[in-house]
Amino acid sequence: MGISLRDKIVFVTGASSGIGAATALEFAKLGAKLLVCARRLDKLKELEPQLREAGAADVLCFELDVRDRDEVECTLKTLPAGWSDIEVLVNNAGLARGLKKLYEDDIENWEEMIDTNVKGLLYVTRTVVSGMIARSRGHVINLGSIAGHNAYANGAVYCATKAAERFITDGLRIDVNGTPIRVSTVDPGMVKTDFSRIRFRGDEERAGKTYENVDPLLPEDVADVIVFVATRPEHVVLQQIVMTPVAQANPFTLTRKS
């Protein structure tokens, strides 16, 4: 039997699509208060009625670019009354850009991935965890990837950002040891979201090929696991969950249906 998150504040970054949107919806079903951000506020506004209908105790959507340190600090330190006691932080905002050999890749792609997946996650975490420490409660759940466990061809920098996420998760868990705060990472393999479309800058054909002849994970599969991690009894922490479609053994071993 898991703990109740009814009326508790769950903050999901990057909730405008994919895993983040599905995760917000799963927490809404538990009656949580959903704090959701992304750069595309219009997408969050489309999600808001679905969250309310699913059972969210309340919803607050706001625009945030996690790469902007000042914006992150200012926005999260000045949340409206009743929204600051964040119980669960899901650090989901992230992306891949490009798929090229390191020595041929565009440096702008590296900057964007590192700024979002590593520095953005750090900015949000620092701000939210300082409040968790003051309240002596909270749970941080980061979105890692199997890419953080094994590098794959043409993905050195994305894989490095997810390896960094894994070590940030482990390091934070050590830093909060002795407090009731829990720190987890959920590390999926291939999930069918906008991820590949963003990676290939809108090249639908190339993005579509990623999921050809394979049953990938769905965002709901990952959301289900995130909610499971968040609802374990308070003395239990699931430190790291690695999940893949059955057809995928690791980032480079994938069997497609013939």
Ligand X SMILES: NC(=O)c1ccc[n+]([C@@H]2O[C@H](COP(=O)([O-])OP(=O)(O)OC[C@H]3O[C@@H](n4cnc5c(N)ncnc54)[C@H](OP(=O)(O)O)[C@@H]3O)[C@@H](O)[C@H]2O)c1
Q: Closest approach of Cβ 94 to ligand X, in Å?
A: 2
Active-site residue (options: 103, 152, 158, 211)? 158
**3-state class of 190 per DSSP?**
coil
Give the pairing type, strands 58-63 and 33-38: parallel
Sequence-distant (6+) residues with CB within 8 A of 36 are: 11, 12, 15, 20, 24, 44, 47, 51, 59, 60, 61, 62
The answer to whether residues 128 and 142 touch, using CB atoms and an 8 Å cutoff, is no
Q: Closest approach of Cβ 210 to ligand X, in Å?
A: 8
Q: Which residues bind ligand X (CB under 6 A)?
A: 13-20, 38-40, 43, 64-67, 92-95, 116, 120, 143, 145, 188, 190-191, 193-195, 198
The answer to whether 158 is a known catalytic residue is: yes
Task: Tell me the Cα Rg of the chain.
Answer: 18
Q: Closest approach of Cβ 40 to ligand X, in Å?
A: 3
Q: Single out the residue of 83, 87, 111, 80 nearest to residue 97, CA to CA.
A: 111
Q: Closest approach of Cβ 239 to ligand X, in Å?
A: 17
- Which ranges in 78-193 belong to alpha helices (H)? 107-113, 121-135, 156-175
How many C-beta atoms surround the C-beta of residue 220 within 10 A? 15
Closer of 116 and 169 to ligand X (Cβ):
116
Catalytic residues: 158
